[in-house]
Amino acid sequence: MRTTNLTVVLRYVRAHAPCSRADIAASTGLNKATVSSLVTDLLERRLLRETGLVANRIGRPATMLTLESRPYAAVGIEVAADHMTAVAIDLAGERLLSWRRASPLTGPPGKAVAAVAALAGRVVGKVTGQGRQILGLTVAVPGLVAADDTVRFAPHVGWPELDLRAQLVKALRRPAYDVAVDNDANLAALAEQRDGGYADIPDLVHLLGGVGVGAGIIVEGRPLRGGHGRAGQIGHLQLDPGGPECGCGRRGCLDAYVGLPALVRRALPDTAADGPVVDYAPEIERIVALAGAGDATVTGALAEAGARLGHAVATLLDLLDPRVVLLGGSFAPLAPWLLPAVEAEVGARVTTPDAGRIAVSTLGPGAAAVGGAARALDRVEAGHLPALP
């Protein structure tokens, strides 16, 4: 009961800071003595701090409270086929660091685990060097992750079934903080819900573009995972049985139209001559530059990809009825050219006049890493409070 009340106060302060003890009591229904005692506890755990006096409505000065951002950090690492992104945030959600490493992870899983652990170790070393305690580390994976954090299927990084969490815990020498693994699109949706431009919308979908496509789905404020963690695995939604070949062996899947390998092949046909692409970031920059200059091959490829993406978005709108579908990951920088075609296709396919809108994620690249870090903050707010010093 007390832990629950502590989290009620913590969540209230996150949403309304700076605020006074009286504000908390008035809005949460907890009595003033209880709030005072809970606030003292949270001050001692260094989760809140006092910011000074402000005159309240009746002119009496009240001490204002805000989240204490200095003592803690949460870490997220996003693993993609061609790169890793690491993000550390403080309790208030401010970014402490954001690193990107071009790093093809398609070799043997043991090597990939070592690379993820090495990056995690460097981030942890950096923020603990600033005197911060780590609240948790979550690794975002482009694939199917079971409820026990086992990676079941991650074809874009070529992993077999892999107990990534256990291997990371071992590589990081059994750290005191919580280590977790989750699907990248689920974590991007979590970041969207917590800190994105559409925070607090209870029904949303984050479509995470990359080498493959995933959908992170929030329904009534909660992530939708499905019976096996498979919800949102939209990359192999078959749009046309006569379409181009897909990595899964079938034809015409969404990935085969809008995944980065397909998109780069169509928009930049000369790229194939340079051998396999190991990092897609420079290719995306080239596509953006050429599209901005009106290159017909590039804008044509983006319009076609947008139409295919629109087909998938229309399916999501009909099936899940979200308020908003956000284009994230590699779709975000390409959105000026994708979005008109997505909207036209959705308009032609969705039958209801009041379907959810389509927008561009404001989180930028690394949304899944931000979500990974945010997951640790969610855990704190769910009652896994750091111990009293």
Least CB distance to Zn ion at residue 236 (A)? 4
What mask of x and - would describe binding to Zn ion in positions 226 to 245, judged by CB under 5 A?
Answer: ----------x---------
Least CB distance to Zn ion at residue 246 (A)? 3
Query: Structure tokens of 163?
Result: 């107990």
247-248-249 Cα angle (round to 5): 90
Least CB distance to Zn ion at residue 40 (A)? 56
Q: Where are the alpha helices (DSSP H) in the chain?
A: 2-16, 21-28, 32-44, 109-129, 164-171, 184-195, 255-258, 260-267, 281-292, 296-320, 331-349, 367-381
Least CB distance to Zn ion at residue 214 (A)? 13
Q: In the 8-state DSSP scheme, what is residue 155?
A: T
- CA–CA dist 216, 329 (Å, integer): 12
Query: Of the two residues 10 and 253, which places its CB atom closer to Zn ion in the complex?
Result: 253
188 near 159, Cβ under 8 Å? no
Say whether residue 253 binds Zn ion (CB under 5 A): yes
Site size for Zn ion, by CB under 5 A? 4
Query: Of the two residues 248 and 359, which places its CB atom closer to Zn ion in the complex?
Result: 248
- CA–CA dist 29, 337 (Å, integer): 49
Least CB distance to Zn ion at residue 111 (A)? 26
248 near 236, Cβ under 8 Å? yes
Q: Is 221 left (phi over 0), alpha (psi -120 to 50) or beta?
A: left
Interface stretch with Zn ion, choices 18-26, 27-35, 197-205, 252-260 (CB under 5 A): 252-260
Positions 62 through 101 that interact with Zn ion (CB under 5 A): none
Least CB distance to Zn ion at residue 255 (A)? 5
Query: Structure tokens of 264?
Result: 């780069």
Query: Of the two residues 45 and 236, which places its CB atom closer to Zn ion in the complex?
Result: 236
Query: Of the two residues 229 and 259, which places its CB atom closer to Zn ion in the complex?
Result: 259
What mask of x and - would describe binding to Zn ion in positions 276 to 315, judged by CB under 5 A?
Answer: ----------------------------------------
Query: Structure tokens of 158?
Result: 């070529």
CA atoms within 13 A on the CB side of 260: 29
Say whether residue 246 binds Zn ion (CB under 5 A): yes
What mask of x and - would describe binding to Zn ion in positions 149 to 188, judged by CB under 5 A?
Answer: ----------------------------------------
Say whether residue 262 binds Zn ion (CB under 5 A): no
255 near 247, Cβ under 8 Å? yes
Residue 72 bridge partners (DSSP): 133
Q: Which member of 219, 224, 248, 288 binds Zn ion (CB under 5 A)?
A: 248
Query: Of the two residues 66 and 315, which places its CB atom closer to Zn ion in the complex?
Result: 315
Query: Of the two residues 239 and 253, which places its CB atom closer to Zn ion in the complex?
Result: 253
Least CB distance to Zn ion at residue 254 (A)? 8
Interface stretch with Zn ion, choices 97-105, 169-177, 186-194, 249-257 (CB under 5 A): 249-257
* DSSP string for 164-213: HHHHHHHHTTS-SSEEEEEEHHHHHHHHHHHHSTTTT-SSEEEEEESSS-
Least CB distance to Zn ion at residue 161 (A)? 20
Say whether residue 211 binds Zn ion (CB under 5 A): no
Least CB distance to Zn ion at residue 253 (A)? 3
Single-letter amino acid, residue 37? S
Q: Which residues bind Zn ion (CB under 5 A)?
A: 236, 246, 248, 253
